[in-house]
């Protein structure tokens, strides 16, 4: 007689196998649901994507962060450009002092033989229709050691980075009253010429020779005398309504006196940097930024100076920050 028990044959019954399989599938599905997946008929699951509301909220958060960060990034970029501009103008002042060392204490001429209109402190040209090039300019040998390509090698020093876009757009249309100045202007009225006293008054001066500059030792307070500054000039036909300009004009024409006795110039100092400030390097070669305190337009040039950020810094309405007796505030 066979007493074997089918429960001890080592084989599981089909019914229990189905129950075990069903139990395992239920546990897997529960785990998937708890992880964020959605169970489908037949035991399959899928991971849901973002809902439209979640996507819109994410986009809004990103836009908010960008809005918070962009002003800071813009300010940082402007601050970096201002730092480069300060460095450039210090190098221009250093070049001016090196020139004076070689030329018996005389500053470089700002526009030698001005009527011929072929020379500036930053460049020369063969014809008045040509752009100025750094070749043979009085300060060029002190700005670069590359005599084979002086224009290219000194270009960065002669270019204000904040003004670079304006220069590119002027170049594209072939405009620019003083090409190659790069957005910087020289105190030509007092530094770039040899002056002598005129008869119109104590502060009136006449140009004795424009082929040489003034002696640096003639300036009583070099730390308060402008050497170079950010400059531009109005031009309604230019893309940005300003063009390059080679000179930082004082408040009054030197030949007619300073202050109430004089005739006012059209301003050329350009307040293009952070919070409406202009970079200036003084005759002792220290540089800083100055806010605009005054502006004026003669009506001869458009647009008006105030509309394109032109004017002067300093509190005294005289030429005291440009002339030999500089020391005004």
* 126 falls within a domain: yes
The pLDDT, as a whole number, for residue 47 is: 59
* 259 falls within a domain: yes
Q: Give residue 327's region: left, alpha or beta (phi > 0; psi -120 to 50).
A: left
Integer Cα distance of 124 and 110 in angstroms: 11
* 319 falls within a domain: no
The pLDDT, as a whole number, for residue 61 is: 87
DSSP structure string for 17-59: HHHHHHHHHHHHHHHHHHTT-EE-GGG-EE-----HHHHHHHH
The model's pLDDT over 285-304, given as tens digits with 9 standing for 90+, comes to: 999 999 999 999 999 999 99
DSSP structure string for 217-281: GG-S-GGGSEEEEEB-EE-TTSTTSEE--SB---SB-GGG-SGGGS-BPPP-EE--BTTTEEEEE
Structure token digits, residue 184:
């910087």
The pLDDT, as a whole number, for residue 44 is: 59
Integer Cα distance of 178 and 159 in angstroms: 13
- Domain total of the chain: 1
Calculate what percentage of the chain has a pLDDT beyond 70: 81
The model's pLDDT over 228-242, given as tens digits with 9 standing for 90+, comes to: 999 999 999 999 999
The pLDDT, as a whole number, for residue 145 is: 83
Find the mean pLDDT for residues 6-31: 48
DSSP-derived 3-state class of residue 144: coil
* 23 falls within a domain: no
Q: Give residue 328's region: left, alpha or beta (phi > 0; psi -120 to 50).
A: beta
Residue 207, burial from CB neighbour count under 10 angstroms (0-12, 13-18, 19+): middle
* 37 falls within a domain: no
The model's pLDDT over 69-121, given as tens digits with 9 standing for 90+, comes to: 777 667 778 889 999 999 999 999 999 999 999 999 999 999 999 999 999 99
* Domain assignment of residue 266, given as a range: 63-311
DSSP-derived 3-state class of residue 93: helix
Lowest-confidence pick of 34-48, 52-66, 144-158? 34-48
Grade residue 179 by pLDDT with cuts at 50, 70 and 90: confident
Integer Cα distance of 79 and 82 in angstroms: 5
* 39 falls within a domain: no
- Most confident residue range from 20-29, 124-133, 254-263: 124-133
* 56 falls within a domain: no
* 320 falls within a domain: no
């Amino acid at each position: 007689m066979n007493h074997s028990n089918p429960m001890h044959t080592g084989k599981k019954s089909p019914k229990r196998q189905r129950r075990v399989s069903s139990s395992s599938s239920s546990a897997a599905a529960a785990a998937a649901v708890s992880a964020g997946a959605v169970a489908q008929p037949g035991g399959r699951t899928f991971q849901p994507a973002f809902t439209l509301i979640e996507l819109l909220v994410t986009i809004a958060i990103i836009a908010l962060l960008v809005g918070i960060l962009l002003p800071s990034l813009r300010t940082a970029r402007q601050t970096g450009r201002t730092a480069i501009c300060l460095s450039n103008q210090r190098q221009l002042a250093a070049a001016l002092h090196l020139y004076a060392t070689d030329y018996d204490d005389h500053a470089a001429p700002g526009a030698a033989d001005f009527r011929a209109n072929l020379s500036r402190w930053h460049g020369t040209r063969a014809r008045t229709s040509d752009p100025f090039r750094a070749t043979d300019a009085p300060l060029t040998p002190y700005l670069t050691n590359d005599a084979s390509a002086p224009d290219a090698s000194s270009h960065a020093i002669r270019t204000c980075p904040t003004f670079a876009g304006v220069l590119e757009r002027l170049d594209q249309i072939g405009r620019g009253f003083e090409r190659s100045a790069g957005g910087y202007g020289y105190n030509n009225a007092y530094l770039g010429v040899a002056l002598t006293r005129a008869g119109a008054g104590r502060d009136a001066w006449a140009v004795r020779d424009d082929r040489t500059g003034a002696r640096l030792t003639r300036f009583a307070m070099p730390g308060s005398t402008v050497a170079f500054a950010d400059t531009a000039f109005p031009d309604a036909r230019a893309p940005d309504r300003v063009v390059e300009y080679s000179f930082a004009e004082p408040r009054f024409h030197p030949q007619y006196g300073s202050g109430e006795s004089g005739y006012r110039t059209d301003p050329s100092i350009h307040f293009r940097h952070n919070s409406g400030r202009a970079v200036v390097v003084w005759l002792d070669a220290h540089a800083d930024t100055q806010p605009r305190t005054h502006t004026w337009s003669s009506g001869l040039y458009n647009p008006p100076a105030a509309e394109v950020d032109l004017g002067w810094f300093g509190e005294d309405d005289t030429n005291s920050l440009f002339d030999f007796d500089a020391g005004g505030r």
